[in-house]
């Protein structure tokens, strides 16, 4: 009895539906071997792989096994059709010669024994296969370019979208009910500057957004690619061309641009975890040498009124590189920053715009929360159905207890995760309202809202107004305002007192 290896391949869903599915190829080869009394040692299956190259995992494994086999172990390699095996004449000819040297026949279900006689006929078949591949490739490229011209991204959509509609190149996409709101929130979180990509990786994992293959949290590069993807605000790109697509954007362009700014300045935005944090750390600069100030605590029992410690800001080059800038106490310099806030207020026109925008945000937030809630409920229902099916499989002895326990635990964890997300959404309603209250308060009375704000919000308020505060002789002598604040000043949307600060420098 002859022994045989069998190789099968399908490259697209379309081919599977045209009769070239792996199962169809496998059944035809099994039937062929059964009739001729050939013993099939094993199948090598490549799914979703092009035949233009031999760099296919299972195909390479087949060649390795052929090369390392013992004489007499394998008599032939059976394929369904030449174009399933190779669509490159040079590769096909070389592999056939290698098989012949080893006494192995290459048999095609559709074309017959390719090892007998001359190589003319097999090479003609291979040439036709290569020609068909080139023609089909060009047709596919043309179809994808036409799809792009019609306003649709030719490649599969990114995380947050799902494919819909017709098959192959004619498919379009729409926001996924579950993942789209999460991706949208991802951009909003990162735009604040308070989250690192590592933070977002953990945040996504808590919402069951993990890698499909291994179930692990998404990698750093995956999150980075998401944040850099223009597709989310509507832009599509193909072969050097770009245009606004027909798909529904998840975010707007300003939010995307903000995230690009944070990505470029991530070291300035995302602060390291420190044992002690100071309000103005990162904002103060020396007026003598230009070095950034740092801060530290000094401990001594004589500091009775200060519970045994005093905080100081100082130039990092003090006493090391000749800088003579003196230490300045934390409360003294932070009091000056407080006074700066006291003399700023927004115009009535600006307040009116903010109130209207806030009203729209609240309405949009309610709709978003309801949409997210429904998506999570649907996801949870799907997990419950899979859990019930798993229980039935155990009762019917379809799976063993170990497999049941492992998969049951996984599904239970996902269901509990959905429950946690539903609770989080309920809490979000209150958070949104608190945030709106904070924004309105800040708009109408900057100083009072700033003074009553928790530490982390104070730093956000400072970042909104100032890029740097220059200190000399323990006094803030200059400020560089942020581009946002500068634009508001130029548009007369901010009112400041005449002696707001010794000098306002927005172009430094």
* Catalytic residue set: 11
Beta strands in 71-184 (DSSP E): 76-79, 105-108, 112-113, 161-165, 171-175
**Residue among 481, 486, 459 nearest 470 (CA):** 481
The crossing angle, in degrees rounded to 10, of helices 330-342 and 455-465 is: 60
* Separation CA 116–CA 429 (nearest Å): 76
- Angstrom CA distances, 232 to 161, 240, 257, 423, stand at 9, 18, 12, 27
DSSP secondary structure string for all residues of 446-460: HHHHHHHS-HHHHHH
Q: Is 245 exposed, middle or buried (0-12, 13-18, 19+ CB in 10 A)?
A: buried
Instruction: Specify whether the CB–CB gap between 471 and 292 falls below 8 A.
Output: no
* Separation CA 146–CA 156 (nearest Å): 15
Enumerate residues 6+ apart whose C-beta is below 8 A from 254. Answer: none
Q: Token pair of 151, please?
A: 């306003």
Strand order in 76-79's β-sheet? 39-47, 3-10, 76-79, 105-108, 112-113
Question: What phi and psi values does residue 35 have, to the nearest 5 degrees?
Answer: -65, -35
The 8 Å CB, 24+ separation contacts for 257-265 are: 258/191, 259/187, 259/190, 259/191, 259/227, 260/227, 260/228, 262/190, 262/191, 262/193, 263/224, 263/227, 263/228
DSSP secondary structure string for all residues of 412-449: HHHHHHHHHHHHHHHHHHHHHHHHHHHHHHHHH-HHHH
* Residue 35 DSSP SS3: helix
Beta strands in 300-381 (DSSP E): 309-315, 328-329, 344-346
Instruction: Specify whether the CB–CB gap between 204 and 182 falls below 8 A.
Output: yes
Q: Give the number of other CB atoms < 10 A from CB of residue 491.
A: 11
């Amino acid at each position: 009895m002859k022994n045989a290896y069998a190789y099968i391949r399908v490259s697209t869903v379309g081919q599977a539906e045209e009769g070239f599915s792996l199962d169809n190829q496998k059944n035809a080869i099994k039937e062929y071997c059964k009739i001729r009394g050939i013993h099939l040692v094993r199948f090598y299956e490549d799914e979703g792989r092009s035949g233009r190259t031999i760099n296919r995992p299972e195909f390479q494994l087949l060649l390795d096994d052929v090369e390392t086999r013992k004489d007499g172990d394998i008599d032939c390699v059976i394929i369904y059709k030449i174009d399933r095996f190779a669509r490159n004449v040079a590769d096909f000819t070389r592999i056939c010669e290698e098989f012949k040297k080893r006494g192995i026949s290459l048999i095609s279900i559709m074309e017959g024994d390719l090892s007998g006689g001359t190589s003319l006929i097999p090479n003609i078949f291979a040439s036709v296969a290569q020609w068909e591949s080139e023609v089909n490739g060009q047709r596919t490229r043309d179809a994808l370019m036409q799809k792009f011209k019609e306003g649709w991204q030719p490649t599969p959509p990114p995380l947050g979208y799902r494919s819909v509609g017709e098959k192959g190149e004619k498919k379009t996409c729409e926001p996924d009910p579950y993942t789209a709101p999460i991706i949208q929130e991802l951009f909003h979180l990162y735009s604040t500057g308070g989250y690192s990509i590592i933070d977002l990786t953990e945040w996504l994992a808590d919402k069951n957004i993990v890698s499909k293959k291994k179930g692990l949290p998404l990698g750093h590069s995956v999150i980075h690619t998401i944040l850099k993807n223009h597709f989310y605000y509507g832009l599509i790109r193909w072969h050097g061309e770009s245009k606004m697509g027909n798909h529904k954007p998840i975010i707007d362009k300003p939010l995307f641009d903000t995230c690009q700014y944070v990505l470029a300045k991530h070291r300035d935005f995302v602060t390291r975890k420190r044992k002690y944090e100071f309000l103005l750390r990162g904002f103060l600069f020396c007026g003598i040498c230009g070095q950034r100030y740092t801060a530290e605590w000094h401990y001594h029992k004589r500091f009775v009124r200060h519970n045994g410690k005093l905080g100081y800001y100082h130039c990092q080059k003090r006493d090391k590189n000749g800088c003579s800038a003196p230490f300045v106490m934390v409360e003294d310099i932070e009091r000056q920053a407080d006074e700066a806030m006291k003399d700023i207020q927004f115009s009535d026109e600006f307040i009116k715009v903010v109130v209207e925008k806030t009203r729209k945000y609240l309405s949009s937030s309610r709709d978003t929360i309801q949409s997210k809630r429904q998506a999570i409920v649907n996801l949870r229902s799907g997990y419950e159905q899979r859990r019930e099916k798993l229980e039935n499989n155990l009762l019917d002895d379809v799976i063993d207890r170990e497999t049941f326990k492992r998969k049951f635990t996984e599904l239970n964890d996902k269901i509990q995760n959905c429950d946690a997300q539903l609770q989080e959404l309920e809490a979000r309603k209150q958070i949104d309202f608190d945030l709106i209250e904070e924004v309105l308060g800040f708009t109408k009375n900057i100083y009072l809202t700033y003074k009553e704000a928790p530490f982390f919000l104070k730093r956000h308020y400072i970042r909104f107004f100032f890029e740097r505060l220059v200190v000399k002789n323990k006094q803030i002598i200059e400020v560089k305002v942020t581009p946002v604040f500068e634009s508001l000043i130029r548009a007369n949307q901010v009112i400041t007192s005449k002696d707001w600060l010794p000098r306002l420098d927005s172009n430094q």
